[in-house]
């Protein structure tokens, strides 16, 4: 039987210091080319320019008649019909016109398109109801981009519009920072998966499902690994199997003071533990390490505490920005908002607390309503929460009406550094 250790060998470091260590250890992944269909949400690793003018030919923006504007409202003979997708061998001369469809190339000689609604056609002649100036309803060559012009700067996060622009320029394999692959390892002898009965003393593994979903929600690629028993051998094998196939390994459980909490000692064996305790609530035993995954490469490992709320808050506050850094996305942190407390909040001044709350807008200001018991095992404290209220170290209990910073956990990341990092 293992003995209890009575105190941790790891110093408890402030959150900002922990994040500073994280930023020293990780950085953007090496760029590579991916198919456009796989590029959503990724950051461009190269500037993209238009090779030629875009669009490459003058086209009609209306269904109507390609005309010479100078003919005014004189009747015109209809020479042919110009559809989208091919080029007719016909020239529009004075007193003539060509039926034309939206997107079709403007025939030689024409300089405007009159919409069908402003015309009448009979016996091969078209009568316009109005005169148009040259250029009307024509999309000129290079209207969007001149040859060589920059279409997208390096670093652009690719959304549907950006992917569409790349497609229209024929860039089928843009160079991007790839989607980080994240291996997920839940540790714990007590854990049972879905679809099996629970024996006395067993609980269902929720953390691996939380992390699979959280990793996917940020556009990264989760890799589900088998659940791990609380033995050194099982942990060692699992970490060595996971590290070479992942850009980041996440473990849950096994990082606190129990006799079977063996993640830290095994990480020490396989690499370097950068920190093993952080002054945050929930999530104090949060652990960060690098393990040697191949002779030439090491993989970062984040050991998240076993309680599901600690796991998800740790993901939110630490793993999310890490993954966005690896993907080289500039917007890395959730936005914040100043809010006031609807109720008094008890706070342990030893640690930075992330208190789960719902936000309400009332009387011209934002108010935070606690989600109730903040126990680290109570997932209901996160279900329906909009925000993590940041109560810094040293603050202590807060009265109703006190002003606090709220991290908005459903808002997209912004490029601003949150006040949390002010120290
Ligand atoms: P540990 O850090 O391993 O001592 O775990 C702390 C608490 O979290 C214990 O009550 C565990 O049973 C619980 N726990 C650990 N892993 C999981 C998991 N994957 N899903 C749900 N609860 C867990
Ligand atoms: Mg455990």
* pLDDT score for 3: 78
Find the ligand nearest to 282 CA.
1
Q: Structure tokens of 34?
A: 């991916």
Q: What is the pTM (predicted TM-score) of this model?
A: 0.93
Ligand closest to CA 191? 1
C-alpha 258 – ligand 1 centre gap (Å): 11
For residue 190, give the ligand 1 atom closest to its CA. Answer: 12
Q: Render pLDDT for 62-82 as a digit per residue (tens, 0 to 9).
A: 999 999 999 999 999 999 999
Tokens 């992944």, residue? 29
If we measure between CA atoms, which residue out of 13, 123, 118, 142 comes closest to residue 65? Answer: 118
Mean pLDDT of the chain: 96
Q: Is the CB of 282 under 6 A from ligand 1?
A: no
Name the residue of 189, 203, 261 whose CB sits within 8 Å of the most ligand 1 atoms, as the mutation to test its pocket. Answer: 203
What integer pLDDT is reported at residue 423 of this predicted model? 47
Q: What is the pLDDT of residues 233-291, one digit of tens each?
A: 999 999 999 999 999 999 999 999 999 999 999 999 999 999 999 999 999 999 999 99
Q: Encoding tokens for residue 365?
A: 């200001």
Q: Give residue 308 CA to ligand 1 midpoint distance, Å.
A: 7
Residues 227, 188 contacting (CB under 8 angstroms): yes
Tell me how far the alpha carbon of residue 253 lies from the centroid of ligand 2, in angstroms: 5
Residue 364 CA to residue 149 CA, distance in Å, equals 46
Q: Which of 185, 253, 265, 313 to mutate to test the pocket of ligand 1 (most atoms within 8 A of CB)?
A: 253
Predicted confidence (pLDDT) per residue in 33-52, tens digit: 999 999 999 999 999 999 99
- CB-proximal residues (5 Å) to ion ligand 2: 188, 253-254, 306
| Section 335-357 average pLDDT | 97
| Residue 416, pLDDT score | 85
Residue 124, pLDDT above cutoff 80? yes
Reported as a single tens digit per residue, the pLDDT across 50-62 is 999 999 999 999 9
In short, whether 228's Cβ falls inside 6 Å of ligand 1 is no
Q: Look at residues 173, 239, 182, 228 and name the one whose alpha carbon lies nearest to residue 205.
A: 228
Q: Which ligand is nearest to the CA of 208?
A: 1
User: CA gyration radius for the chain?
Assistant: 31
* β strands within 16-75, DSSP E: 32-33, 48-49, 59-60, 64-67
Q: How far is the CA of 307 from the centre of ligand 1 (A)?
A: 5
Ligand 1 center–CA 218 separation, angstroms: 24
254 lines ligand 1 (CB under 6 A): yes
- pLDDT band, very low/low/confident/very high, at 417 (cuts 50, 70, 90): confident
Closest ligand 1 atom to residue 206 Cα is 20
Distance 421 CA to ligand 1 centre (A): 29
Task: Provide the percentage of residues in the chain whose pLDDT is more than 70.
Answer: 99
Q: Write down the pLDDT at residue 380.
A: 97
Q: What span, in angstroms and rounded, lies between the C-alpha atoms of 269 and 274?
A: 13
The 10 Å Cβ neighbour count of residue 177 is 21
Whole-number Å distance between alpha carbons of 275 and 293: 19
pLDDT surpassing 70 at residue 128: yes
pLDDT for the residue numbered 142: 96
The set of residues, in sequence order, having a beta carbon less than 8 Å from that of 37 and lying 6+ positions away, is: none
Ligand nearest to the CA of 311: 1
Confidence of residue 422 (pLDDT cuts 50, 70, 90): low
pLDDT at 30 over 80: yes
Which atom of ligand 1 approaches the CA of 285 most closely?
2
Residue 307 has what pLDDT?
98
How far is ligand 2, taken at its centre, from the CA of residue 207, in Å?
12
| pLDDT over threshold 50, residue 109 | yes
3-state secondary structure of 337: strand
CA of 265 to the centre of ligand 1 (A): 18
């Amino acid at each position: 039987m293992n003995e209890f250790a009575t105190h941790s060998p790891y110093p408890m470091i402030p959150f900002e210091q922990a994040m500073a260590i994280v930023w020293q250890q990780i950085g953007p992944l090496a760029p590579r080319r991916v198919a456009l269909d796989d590029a959503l949400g990724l950051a461009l690793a190269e500037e993209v320019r238009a090779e030629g003018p875009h669009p490459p030919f003058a086209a009609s923006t209306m269904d109507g008649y390609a005309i010479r504007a100078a003919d005014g409202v004189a009747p015109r003979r209809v020479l042919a019909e110009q559809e989208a997708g091919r080029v007719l061998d016909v020239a529009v001369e004075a007193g003539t016109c060509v039926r034309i469809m939206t997107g079709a190339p403007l025939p030689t000689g024409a300089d405007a398109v009159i919409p069908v609604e402003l015309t009448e056609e009979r016996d091969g002649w078209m009568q316009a109801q109005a005169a148009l100036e040259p250029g009307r309803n024509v999309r000129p060559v290079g209207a969007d981009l001149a040859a060589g012009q920059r279409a997208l700067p390096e670093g652009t996060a690719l959304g549907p519009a950006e992917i569409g622009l790349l497609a229209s320029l024929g860039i089928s394999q843009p160079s991007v920072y790839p989607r980080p692959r994240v291996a997920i390892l839940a540790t714990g002898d007590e854990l049972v998966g879905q679809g099996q009965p629970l024996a006395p003393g067993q609980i269902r593994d929720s953390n691996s499902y939380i992390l699979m979903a959280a990793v996917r929600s940020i556009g990264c690629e989760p890799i589900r690994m088998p659940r791990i028993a609380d033995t050194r051998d099982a942990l060692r094998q699992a970490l060595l199997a996971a590290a070479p196939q992942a850009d980041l390994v996440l473990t849950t459980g096994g990082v606190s003071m129990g006799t079977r909490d063996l993640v830290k000692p095994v990480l020490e064996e396989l690499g370097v533990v950068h920190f093993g305790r952080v002054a945050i609530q929930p999530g104090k035993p949060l652990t960060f390490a690098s393990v040697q995954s191949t002779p030439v490469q090491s993989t970062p490992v984040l050991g998240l505490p076993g309680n599901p709320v600690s796991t998800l808050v740790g993901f939110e506050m630490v793993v999310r920005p890490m993954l966005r850094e690896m993907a080289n996305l500039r917007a890395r942190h959730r936005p914040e908002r100043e809010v006031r407390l609807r109720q008094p909040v008890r706070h342990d001044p030893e640690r930075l607390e992330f208190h789960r709350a719902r936000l309400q807008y009332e009387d011209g200001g934002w108010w935070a309503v606690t989600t109730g018991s903040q126990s680290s095992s109570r997932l209901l404290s996160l279900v329906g929460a909009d925000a993590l209220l940041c109560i810094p170290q040293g603050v202590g209990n807060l009265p109703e009406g006190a002003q606090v910073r709220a991290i908005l956990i459903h808002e997209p990341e912004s490029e601003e550094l949150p006040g949390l990092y002010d120290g």
